[in-house]
Structure 1
Amino acid sequence: MLALNGGPKVRTQPFPRWPEYDETEHLALARALQQGEWGRHGGKEVQAFEREFAELHQAPAALAVTNGSHALELALELAGIEPGDEVIVPAYTFVATSTAVQRRGGVPVPVDVTADTFCLDPAALDDAVTDRTRAVIPVHIGGHVADMDAITAWGEARGVTVIQDAAQAHGATWRGKGLGTLGSIATFSFQSTKVITAGEGGALLLPDEDTYENAWVRHNCGRTRELHLATASSNFRVSELTAALLRAQLARFADQNARRAARHTELAAALGEIPGIRLQGRDPRCTSTPHYMTTFVLDQDELGGLDRDTVALALLMEGIPAFGSHRPLHRTDAFWTGATRDIRPEELAEYCPNAERVGRDGVLIPHQALLGTRQEIDDIVTAVAKVLAELPSDGIAAAV
Structure 2
Amino acid sequence: MSNDVRLGSELPAWPSYGDEEREALIRALEQGQWWRIGGGEVDAFEAEFAAAHGSEHALAVTNGTHALELALEVLGVGAGSEVIVPAFTFISSSQAAQRLGAVAIPVDVDPDTYCIDPSAVEAAIGPRTRAIMPVHMAGQMCDMDALDKLSADSGVPLIQDAAHAHGARWRGKRVGELGSVAAFSFQNGKLMTAGEGGAVLFPDAEMYEQGFVRHSCGRPRTDRGYFHRTSGSNFRLNEFSASVLRAQLARLEDQITTREQRWPVLGRLLAEIPGVVPQSRDDRGDRNPHYMAMFRVPGITEERRARVVDVLVERGVPAFVAFRAVYRTDAFWEAAAPDLTVDELARRCPHSEALTRDCVWLHHRVLLGSEAQMHEVAAVVADVLADA
Fold match by TM threshold 0.5: yes
Structure 1, 221-230 or 285-294: larger mean CA deviation? 221-230
**Once structures 1 and 2 are overlaid, which stretch shifts more, 137-146 or 335-344?**
335-344
Superimposed CA distance per residue, residues 2-38 of structure 1 (whole angstroms, 9 cap, x where no aligned partner): 23xxxx4412543211011111111000111111111
Superposed counterparts of 1:122-133, under 5 Å: 122-133=118-129
Bigger shift: 82-91 or 124-133? 124-133
What CA deviation, in whole Å up to 9, does each residue of 1:156-209 have, x standing for no partner?
Answer: 211212100000110000101101011110000000000110000000011012
Counterparts in 2 of 1:156-195, with a 5 A limit?
156-195=152-191
Match of 1:308 in 2: 305
CA–CA distance in 2 between the matches of 1:280 and 1:103?
31
Deviation by residue 1:53-110 (Cα, 9 ceiling, x = unmatched)? 0111111211100000000010011011121211000000000000001100000000
Shift of 1:318: 2.3
Give the match for residue 386 of structure 1. Answer: 383
Q: Which residue of 2 aligns with 1:394?
A: none
Match of 1:14 in 2: 10
**Which residue of structure 1 aligns with residue 317 of structure 2?**
320
1:265-280 matches, within 5 Å, as 265-280=264-279
Partner of 2:234: 235
**CA drift at 1:370:** 1.1
The CA deviation at 1:119 is 0.5
Which residue is 1:369 aligned to? 366
Distance 1:306 1:104, change over 3 A: closer
3-state SS, counterpart of residue 338 of structure 1: coil
2:301–2:357 contact (8 Å) kept in structure 1: no
**Superposed CA offset, 1:210-252 (max 9, x none):** 2111111111111112313211111111011110000011111
Residue 141 (str. 1) matches residue 140 (str. 2)? no
SS of structure 1 residue aligned to 2:333: helix
Which residue identity lines up with residue 347 of structure 1 in the other structure?
A: E
SS of equivalent residue, structure 1 residue 377:
helix
Amino acid at match of 1:154: L
Report what 2:292 is aligned to.
293
Contact kept in structure 2, 1:19 and 1:197, CA below 8 Å: yes
Is the 1:9–1:319 Cα contact (8 Å) retained in structure 2? no
The 5-angstrom pairing of residues 202-213 of structure 1 reads 202-213=198-209
Measure, in 1, the Cα distance between the counterparts of 2:283 and 2:257.
Answer: 18
Instruction: Provide the secondary structure at the position in 2 that maps to 1:288.
Output: coil
- The 8 Å contact of residues 135 and 161 in structure 1, kept in 2 or not, is answered as yes
Letter in 2 for 1:121: D
Give the aligned residue type for 1:139: V
Q: After alignment, is 379-388 or 196-205 more displaced?
A: 379-388
What amino acid does structure 2 have at the position aligned with 1:74?
L
Question: 5 Å matches for 1:34-49?
Answer: 34-49=30-45
Equivalence for 1:359: 356
Return the offset for 1:304.
9.1
Partner of 1:397: none
Aligned length: 385
Q: Which runs of 5+ in 1 are unaligned?
A: 392-400
Find the counterpart in structure 1 of residue 89 from structure 2.
93
Instruction: Establish whether residue 60 from structure 1 lines up as the match of residue 59 from structure 2.
Output: no
Are 1:343 and 2:340 matched, yes or no?
yes
Partners of 1:2 and 1:318 within 8 A in 2: no
Distance 1:93 1:211 in 2: 26
Using a 3 Å threshold, how does the CA distance of structure 1 residues 305 and 158 change in structure 2: closer, same or farther? Answer: closer
AA in 2 matched with 1:255: D
Kindly indicate whether the alpha-carbon contact (under 8 Å) linking 1:64 and 1:237 is maintained by their aligned counterparts in 2: yes
Q: Given residue 109 of structure 1, which amino acid in structure 2 is its aligned partner?
A: I
Amino acid of the structure 1 residue aligned with 2:258? R
Of the candidates 77, 85, 93, which is equivalent to residue 73 of structure 2?
A: 77
Name the aligned partner's letter for residue 236 of structure 1.
F
Percentage identity across paired residues of the two chains = 50
How far apart, CA to CA, are the structure 1 residues paired with 2:207 and 2:152? 18
- SS of the equivalent of 1:286 reads coil
Q: Check whether the contact 1:179–1:186 (CA below 8 A) recurs between aligned residues.
A: yes
- Normalised to the residue count of structure 1, the TM-score between the two structures is 0.93
Q: 2:212 aligns with which of 213, 216, 236?
A: 216
- 1:237-276 equivalences under 5 Å are 237-276=236-275
> Would you identify which runs of 4 or more consecutive aligned residues in structure 1 move more than 3 Å?
303-306
Q: 1:23 aligns with which of 10, 19, 23?
A: 19
One-letter amino acid of the structure 2 residue matched with residue 149 of structure 1: D
Q: 1:171 to 1:133 in 2, by over 3 A?
A: same
**Is this contact kept in 1: 2:302–2:358, CA < 8 A?**
no
> 2:46: which partner in 1?
50
Normalised to the residue count of structure 2, the TM-score between the two structures is 0.96
Letter in 2 for 1:267: L
The alignment partner of 2:220 has SS state of coil
The one-letter amino acid of 1:221's match is C
Q: CA-atom RMSD, angstroms? A: 1.4
> Using the alignment, how far apart are the partners of 1:84 and 1:224 within structure 2?
28
Q: Secondary structure at the match of 1:116?
A: coil
Give the direction of change, closer, same or farther, for the CA distance of 1:306–1:273 in structure 2 (3 Å limit). Answer: farther
Aligned match of 1:118 in 107, 114, 118? 114
SS at match of 1:87: strand
SS in 2 for 1:287: coil
Structure 2 gap segments, 5+ residues each: none
